[in-house]
Structure formats: structure tokens, C-alpha cells
Chains A and B, each alone.
Chain A
Amino acid sequence: MSTDHTELSARTFVDVHDIQEELDQVRWGLHADGEGSEAAQHAAAEARASVCNLIAVVSNEPELGEVMSVLDRLSVTNPSRTLILLAQHTREADKLEAEVSAQERTESGHRVSTERVILHAHGEPARHLASLATPLLIPDLPVILWWPGRPQFDNPLFDDLCELADRLVVDTDEGFDDSDLARLLEVARRNKAQASIGDLNWARLIAWRHVAAQFFDMPGMLARLAHVHGVSIFHGSDGQTAQARLLGGWIRSRMARVGIDVPLEFRPEDSLEHGVHRFLIYTGGDEGPARFSMSRLRGGRLSTQIRLGEQELAERTVRLESRATEELLGIELTLPGHDVLFEEALDAALR
């Protein structure tokens, strides 16, 4: 796939009307008099597909660079209007600046262009950036709020943006502790909460959930699901447990639906390697003991095995995708509405 990436323009403004005007210019390829060359208009028309408004909030300049490159790569699969808010309310002197730019990419003959606005605020304006973001959104398209790192739950900007957004995307793998998970659940369950919650860490668990479910699709295995009596989750000992907690919360919440309370065992392994290493489901009942195991292998693979009593059944190896942030974000952008499963998993993880 060939990629050609061009920055069409980048200018700095401080007035919202100026920003809006410049956005129109870069979006439609128009000149200041409202006209544009036929070629430019046609090019703009080809490039116009937009799937959402994406707001990312960052708190410092180094983070800004990382976020911009993730969003650049994301724009290939999800052409969007992107607003990046660099909100530094702890810096004293008030400041508000905006930079508008357009990027154009050609991928395998398709032209995609996106507009990006970086709003940089210090002091008081940093707390009120939502008021500036609102008029810059493309109407009728969903608003996705991506908050890299741990969100500032107590910052009014967080609440304002959550009200504006249709979906809040976080990554609980970025140092979320139990109290952060609880705050997240609280946000999801707010009265009249408009924003649904997406978690990149939850998206990383898709393969584990998929393979675990497949065990019980096998002939004769469904009945064993009613006899799940324990789950062990082995994880890295680097101190990050949110992924393991979510996976445990997931199976616990699913089993709770049929009235089974599954005890969870979390075991840090010697390895510092991050995330879930192994996931074991134990069943009993009249059909005898069974163990369903999934182990992460090097090179992005998952090995699965079933042991019925002492008998080992067919082993197989499948892919465990190590997805880049933009791919995980891309998954989140396609999910509709509240993810009840995630919310239930989060709730069960905290119980």
C-alpha cells in the first residue's frame, strides 16, 4: 500500500471565527473569495469522506507529538475532523492559540484528507476549551473524546467534554488503579450520561474473549460452562493489573448472568512482561474435571489447549494481535452506543 502524505497548510489563529473560516478553506479548497479552482474543488470533493469528530486531550508538548502521530495514522482508516486540546490549566498566564492544518494522503489511489485543529491553552482558558471546541465540530457526525493517559476526573474540562462527546475513549492500561476504574464506571453510569465508554485495554482482550468463547462452541462443551468453578489469570509483575482485572471481570460478569459466582485468582508471574500471560478456566460437574487454557506465546500468538481429566485435546495456535494505538482507536470508532459488556466487566472487576 503506497502512502503519500502532504501537509496542505498550517496557520495559527486565536479567534474562533478565523478558525472556522480557515477550516472551510482547507476543507473545500476554496480561495478567500469563496471560489476555488475546479481541480481544487474536485480534489476536495473526492477527499471529503469524514466518519467522525475526534477530540484528543493532552497535557504537555511531548505527549502532543505522540498523539499527533497516532491520529495521523488513524486518519488513513478513519478520516475525521480532529481537535487536539493541549490544556495546561496549571500554567498561570492565560493563553489561547489555535493552529489549523489539513493533511492529504493518497493510499492505493484513494485520496483522503483530514483537518486538524490544535488548541493550546494556559490558565483559565484551558478549563473552558469545550466552549471553543463545540463550534468547530462537523455537524451530525459523532464526537469521540480520546483522553490518553489517566483522565483528570476532577477537572471541569473533563466533565464538559464528556457532555459534548458521544464516546469517551481511555486506555485503562495506562496506570489505572482501582479508584480510577471506579471513577470510570461512575462516568458510564451517570444519569443521562451521553458518552459511552471505550477502553483500548478492553479492545486488546478481544482475542482472549474470542478464544475462550470458542472452547464452549465445541460439541459437548457447552454443558461444561454451567460447571465453571474457578478462573486463574496469570499476569506480568510490572504492577499493571487493569488488563487482568478486566478479563476476570468479564468472565465473572458473564457467568453471573446465569447465577454462577466464579472465584477469580490473579497470579503475578516472575516475568515483567506486560499484560495477561495465561488464562485458565476450570470446570467440574458430572462430566469430570476439565481445564481450558490459553497461553500467550512470543511473536503475537495464543496457544489453546483443553484437558479433560488427564486427556489433552487438540491444541492450536492462533494470532494474538499486538495492535497499535491507532488500530485500537479505530476499533473504538466503529462501536455503537454503550458497551454494556464492558461496563458489566468493569463492575465485576471491582467487586
Chain B
Amino acid sequence: MAQAATPTITQNILRDGLILPRTPDPAAMVIFGASGDLTARKLMPALYNLALNRYLPSGFSVIGVADTALTEDEFRAHMEQAVQKFSRSQPVDRAVWQSLAEGISYVRMPFDDAAGYGRLAAELDRLDRERGTNGNRVFYLATAPQFFSVIIDRLGAAGIAKAGEGWKRVVIEKPFGNDLKSAQALNQAIHAVFAEPQIYRIDHYLGKETVQNVLVFRFANGIFEPIWNRRYVDHVQITVAEDIGIERRGKYYESSGALRDIFQNHLMQLLSIAAMEAPPNFDADSVRDEKVKVLKSIHPIDVANDVVRGQYGPGWVGGQQVPGYRQEVNVSPASTTETFVAVRLKIDNWRWADTPFYLRTGKRLPSRASEIAIQFKNPPHLPFAKTAVQELTPNVLVMRIQPHEGASLKIAAKIPGPVMRLRTVNMDFFYGSSFMVESPDAYERLVLDCMLGDATLFAREDEVERAWGLVDRIEAGWASQPPPAFPNYAAGTWGPPEVDALIERDGRRWRRP
């Protein structure tokens, strides 16, 4: 058959029908803090699993940067051990690891050493030449937060992050700032080198399958949105409860507390996705615009009446006796850091006006649970005798993030028998029972999204600053109060007694998740 003129191909037609619309461009990922815990536990296993499952492009390269004395071979061996220990796919495929490891190199330098950045630039140039990374770079800041600004500054000064050939992106781990002012300062420092679309602020909660499933649950089912508003919803409870203590993170936690560690990020993210309007599409700005609108609509918090803080004392959790917070390693014996916070807030918009949202998070609570619970209003009239309905409780739709990911709906049903008696039953959907497949780690999803240039599941500047604004308001309120009488709850309980009062004065009760 005679061949026609050569067609112009504008898209990869071999990709039709495959899950991902494209493979990321070949790129070099520079990991600052490469000898640290996050790199070993999360990043390198995530990269290995992405490589294993064919998501990484040919030529993908990693440069580890740290001030630890390691040769390149030692660094690779260290990373291999990390993958063997922490990868979700076992056993580790040696040939695939070898193929990935060929692109791994190491640059030893202190993060503020200008000369070191010259060596880093030379290494990046080598990768461009030899492995075809074409100037595409991800700078992953897996370091302690005090190094964020200096690394960004030095990257800028060395010209490594300069736009030119290829794209440049920076990934920043939480905590993103310590308050609104420091977050703004950090944003400013980053913006001196990177534009907002180049910045990927990680909150790994958003990489969790079940958090994304909340969006699917809300916006891919026609039956929930019509009742997802003040007309039908009595109130919403969002819980991020941990049964563990602070492990060995006393130093960090002393300067953070529950408000900064969980409330500012994970709880605000859950609040946003539970309360947001449907975005027109799932692109980064459409989704984040809607989330920011929720944060903008939060009614100013009356700290004295709407916030409860707590700190755990000694107690029993899961049959184990555990020390109080003040007895933990690297914690002051007179610490006033909160390990529990509960907030009652309202969202001033048409959907949610006068519908309270109760948020709580804490350490050393009786169980580990993250969930969004939507409690619906009672029916306007019950045509049954009072004795028939005494056991009835309102309908509650719970979206569980962890553990036992899924959803449950509490409904009323007749107790079988000759008389009309009603009771409440749970209809459960276990995510695991219907899709009992291994989910990718949140970091795999987020690293891949960053390489593909999709920032939907990353926090935007205004989102982060709005959340810090709330935290600052709460901190300011606390500063004007007398010092808290900590500890005020025993480990293994659901927080201080005041937390019950916070909700009970509205005629409501906390759920037991």
C-alpha cells in the first residue's frame, strides 16, 4: 500500500487506554536530607515502587544531599537497605533496584555551603548530559524546617533553580512555618526563587487513597450532595485521634503541639474536603480554590468558648501503662504544650450557616481513628409511639480515613416482632472488603504527581496561610488566658472534661469513633 504523506502526531497514540496519560519527563530529583529518616522510610521506597511499576521514565536520577560522611557506594547501599526494610513490595527485585541505583549519586555538603551548590550544579549538568534529564529538576526538602529558607536561598544564588531548559519544582515537607508570620516569610523566601506553580507543599494526608475517596464519595454519587448542607445536616464531627504518644519526637513536639502538628494541616484538609463546594474539574487550582473558600468562610473563633486544649498525664492505653507527656524524653517537666485540641467552628456560607463543625485531635487517646462524621437532623415528625423510638439516634454518615477505611451509615430499622419497636443499625462499607488490594503509599502518589506537574493534592500558599491565621487566633486567645492546669486528661481517655462541655452545651455529644 502506498504510504501517504507523513502525518503530524501531536499526542502519544500508544498511550490510549493506559491508566496514566503520560510518563513524567526524565528528571533529576535532588533530595536534601538524604541521610535522614524520611528519605529512608518513605522517599526511597516510594521511588523504588514507582520504578518497579514502570511509572518512572528512563534516565530518572536521584542526587542525595546531606552532610553525612558517605561515599556514593555507601549512600546507595544505605538506600538499598532502606528499600529492603521499608518497601511495601517485597522481596525487593534486585535488577529493578540496580536499574534505579545506576541513577543515584551523592553530594556531601552542609546546606549553607555555597561551594557545595557549585558541586551540585556540576552533578546536575552531568546528569543532563549523560542521562538525558534535560534540566528537569525536583528539589525535595526532606530536612528539618530551619534549613528550608537557606537551601532555597542557596539554590537561587547558585542559579540551579533558574528557569531555562526544563522545569524546576520544589517539594516542601510540613511544618510549613510555625505561625502566619513565619509561613509568610517562608513563602516570600521561596517566591524569591520559585513561582507558586513550582511549589509543592506536602501534606501526606492528601495522598491517602481514602482521603481522595471522600471527594469521590461526595462528588461521584448523586445522592449525597443534595442533603450535604445546613438543611439536613445537624453538625459535623472531624476526629484525628492517635493512641500513640509523641514517640521520640519530644523536641519537635514541644515547639509544635497538637495545634500545629495536626490541626493546622490534617484537620484543616479534612475540614476543607468535607465542606467544600464541587469543583468544576479536578485540576489543581479548581480544587484548591474551593478548599480556600471554605477556610475563608470560617467564622472568627471565640477562643475562650470554642476551643479546648489538653495535655495527657499518665494512664493506660490498650492495656499498657504509659507515662504522661511531661515525663516523655526531651519534654519539660513543666511543659504547657497541648497534646489535645478541640475546636467548635462555623462556616459562614449558604451551605453551612449555623451548622457547627466540631474538630478534635489528640495524642494518647483510647484508640486511633481519623474520620469525618456527618450527623443528620432528626425527622421532623415521628409517627411512632414514644416507647417505640426510645433507642433511636440520628442518622450519621461516617467516612473513615483510618483504620478500617470506608463509610458507614446509621439508620433506623424495625426490631422484628409483633410490636412496633425501632432501633438504630449501622450499614457498613469497608473500603478494604470491596477493594482488598494493596494501596500505593501516599508518597508514591504525591511524588509522581509532582513529577507530572499536578499540584491538586498539594497545599497552596493561600491555603497554608489561611490555616495559620486560624492557629494564630487560637494561640493569641490562649496567650490572654491564665496558664493551663496541665496535665488535664489521663492517657487513654477522650481528652479533658471541658471537651464534653464544648459540645454538650449545644445539646450534642461526641461520637466514640
Contacts and interface: CB of A to CB of B under 8 A. Distances in A.
A313 interface: yes
A319 B96 contact: yes
Contacts of A193: none
Contacts of A260: 3, 7
Nearest to B416: A35
A281 B435 CA distance: 37
A112 interface: yes
Nearest to B61: A314
A108 interface: yes
Contacts of B416: 34-35
Given A211-B54, A218-B58, A301-B95, A285 B6 contact: yes
Looking at chain A's contact residues, the main secondary structure is mixed
A225 B16 contact: no
A49 B95 contact: no
Given A211-B54, A317-B98, A318-B99, A219 B6 contact: no
Given A49-B430, A319-B93, A254 B16 contact: yes
Interface residues of A, number: 58
Nearest to A110: B432
Contacts of A219: 25-26, 132, 134
A222 B14 CA distance: 10
Given A45-B428, A251-B14, A261-B1, A313 B58 contact: yes
A107 B432 CA distance: 9
A62 interface: no
Nearest to B166: A219
B51 interface: yes
Contacts of A313: 58, 132
A344 to B, nearest CB: 10
B52 A319 contact: yes
Interface residues of B, number: 49
Nearest to B434: A49
B433 A217 contact: no
A227 B6 contact: yes
A250 to B, nearest CB: 9
A330 B26 CA distance: 32
B55 to A, nearest CB: 9
Looking at chain B's contact residues, the main secondary structure is loop
B9 A226 contact: yes
B469 interface: no
Contact of B53 (A79, A297, A319): A319
B17 A225 contact: no
Interface in A296-351: 297, 299-301, 304, 306, 313-319, 330, 339, 341
Interface string B200-212: 0000000000000
B54 A207 contact: yes
Interface string B20-36: 00110110000000000
Nearest to A341: B17
A76 interface: yes
B99 A226 contact: no
A46 B132 contact: no
B17 A339 contact: yes
Contacts of B17: 209, 339, 341
B440 to A, nearest CB: 14
A316 B14 contact: no
Contacts of B4: 259
Contact of B22 (A77, A217, A339): A217
A213 B18 CA distance: 9
A125 B436 CA distance: 37
Nearest to B428: A46
Contact of B57 (A49, A217, A222, A223): A217
Q: Which of B54, B93, B132 has the most CB of A within 10 A?
A: B54
Interface in B374-428: 404, 416, 425-428
Contact of B16 (A108, A314, A317, A341): A341
B430 A216 contact: no
Contact of A210 (B1, B10, B18, B132): B18
Q: Which of A108, A207, A217 has the most CB of B within 10 A?
A: A217
Given A112-B433, A213-B15, A304-B58, A223 B9 contact: yes
A18 to B, nearest CB: 23
Nearest to B96: A317
Contact of B430 (A46, A257, A285, A306): A46
A255 interface: yes
Contact of A316 (B15, B99, B425, B432): B99
A109 interface: yes
A39 interface: no
A257 B17 CA distance: 14
A258 interface: yes
A76 B430 CA distance: 13
Contacts of B7: 226, 258-260
B428 A51 contact: no
B232 interface: no
B478 interface: no
Nearest to B15: A213
Contacts of B426: 45
A205 B413 CA distance: 49
Interface in B85-106: 93, 95-96, 98-99
Interface string A73-84: 000110100000
Given A45-B426, A222-B12, A225-B13, A318 B132 contact: no
Contacts of A107: 432, 436
Nearest to A45: B428
A214 B52 contact: no
B437 interface: yes
A111 interface: yes
The 5 closest A-B pairs by CB, nearest first: A213-B14, A317-B99, A341-B17, A217-B23, A110-B432
24 contacts: A46-B430, A79-B434, A107-B436, A111-B433, A206-B18, A210-B18, A210-B54, A212-B14, A213-B15, A214-B23, A214-B57, A216-B12, A217-B57, A218-B23, A254-B13, A254-B14, A259-B7, A261-B1, A304-B58, A314-B59, A317-B98, A319-B54, A319-B93, A341-B17
Interface of B: 1, 3-4, 6-18, 22-23, 25-26, 51-54, 57-59, 93, 95-96, 98-99, 131-132, 134, 404, 416, 425-430, 432-437
Given A219-B132, A319-B52, 8 more contacts: A49-B429, A110-B430, A213-B15, A216-B12, A217-B15, A218-B132, A259-B4, A261-B1
